[in-house]
Amino acid sequence: MIMRGLSLSSIRSLWPLTPCPHVISPIHITRLPTRRVFASTASRSTPTGDDPNPNFLYEPLEGVERIDYYCPGGYHPIQIGDHFHGRYRVIYKLGHGSYSTIWLARDEQNNQYVAVKVCTADSNQKEAGILASLTHPDQPATSHLGQKMLPSVLDTFTIHGPNGEHTCYVTSPARASLSDLKDGSWVRLFQINVARALTAQLVLAVDYVHARGFIHGDLHMGNVLLKTPPSFDQLSPEQLYEKYGAPELDPVVHLDGKQLPPGVPSHGIAPIWLGEPSEKITLPEARILLTDFGEAFSSEEAKYESHTPLVNRPPESRFEPNKPLSFSSDIWSLACTIWTIIAQRPLFEGFLATEDYMTREHVDTLGILPPEWWNRWDARPDNFTEDGRPTKRNLNRSWDDRFEDSVQLPRQEVGMPLFDAEESDAIFAMLRPMFAFRPEHRSTTKQILESEWMVKWALPEYEKIRKGE
């Protein structure tokens, strides 16, 4: 589906044409809510966030990765029906990320559906190794529940194409991300029992990752997926098309009217939608996978730059850039993700926000930054007095205000049950130490799992799912 309403001349004025602009930024952006939503085994963020080269060569297609990134070093062109590694027949697209496209394929040897992640030719290939280490550890089999919430790498292979050599790996497919489920809903809420179970599983998954010595580095709802039900493999490709619709193929058009280079697909393919509105997800369906380990790293590495979306990015990545990120950096992003699972909107809001805007949100909600950060924040006088009072607004939105506006009132308006006072207090008691400004003061995953809300409300809901498996 081509973006309508833009003439070629207007597109040219916005994006002057240049040769292949394969500079893919790993920095993600928050997307506007849309009824068009996708399922994938990786982040659904597009590779246009903070893109240093926003030039377009082709007509943009709605819901499709930027065609400009089909160039040397970039994506590999794939069409429905392609056959990989002698066994995987491409049935549909699942989605795309900054460094990959993800495809639903039929494994003709095992007669089941799989997700095939085809990486860009210049991408870092460490993700498959990290996942293999986490899901197939050298040590004896672990009984940690969180291991079940990570996608196992079923196979790996390489494609040699016109844009380079592409590492591919195969996992089980998933229905949709939690972010996409919300984007497919006007309510943008999960039922309370589902929100509890989703949160419990996410904390267990991160606890397992941390216990194995890794930091995920990119925690947000776009990287938390719902598993497909066991019955999914019983659908033939024809039945799948009948149930979910056949793939939509949009012709790729060069803005100069030129022929397409050999590394560019003739058609863009919109992803399949296997999900449903967030409020309709039932407890038995609420089984998750934590995915997209492209930003993950070992705790023995020194990594300083965070590529987590700004709304979930820990503040130390800005104010302590010379200190390596740590397990605590994941905890801040985990807390942001938990809030968004429970609430209708993120705790810190800001579509295409700047770092200064997000810092203002942090202070508005949580209070004054540590003194050395507070004094070093150049934009502070434009936003707050020295003692933390806002300079431009009559009212600030406190933690309690945001909980009422984003959690309780939206539920009340659509007739959903509310969190009672006891449970609300327990949620606050768990989240507040996760949002400590100083990383060393934040909770660990073990402490989160031992919190009252996890023990009394969240983990019991997950246990109901386990008993039904």
As annotated, the binding site includes 117
> Which residue shows structure tokens 């309690």?
400
> Which residue shows structure tokens 């007095």?
385
Cα 289 to Cα 92, 270, 467, distances in angstroms: 20, 23, 18
Distance of CA 275 to the CA centre of its chain: 15
Q: How many helices (H) and strands (E) does the chain have?
A: 16, 13
Report the C-alpha gap between 217 and 303 in whole angstroms.
10
> Which residue shows structure tokens 């020194």?
302
* Phi, psi (deg, nearest 5) at residue 112: -145, 165
- Both tokens assigned to 384: 């707050």
What is the C-alpha radius of gyration for the chain, rounded to an integer number of angstroms?
22
Annotated binding site for ATP: 117
Helices 327-342 and 192-211: angle between axes, nearest 10 degrees: 170
> Which residue shows structure tokens 């659908």?
235
Kindly give, in sequence order, each residue whose CB lies less than 8 Å from that of residue 118, ignoring residues fewer than 6 positions away. 75, 76, 78, 100, 101, 102, 103, 159, 166, 168
- Both tokens assigned to 232: 């999914």
Cβ(68)–Cβ(57) below 8 Å: yes
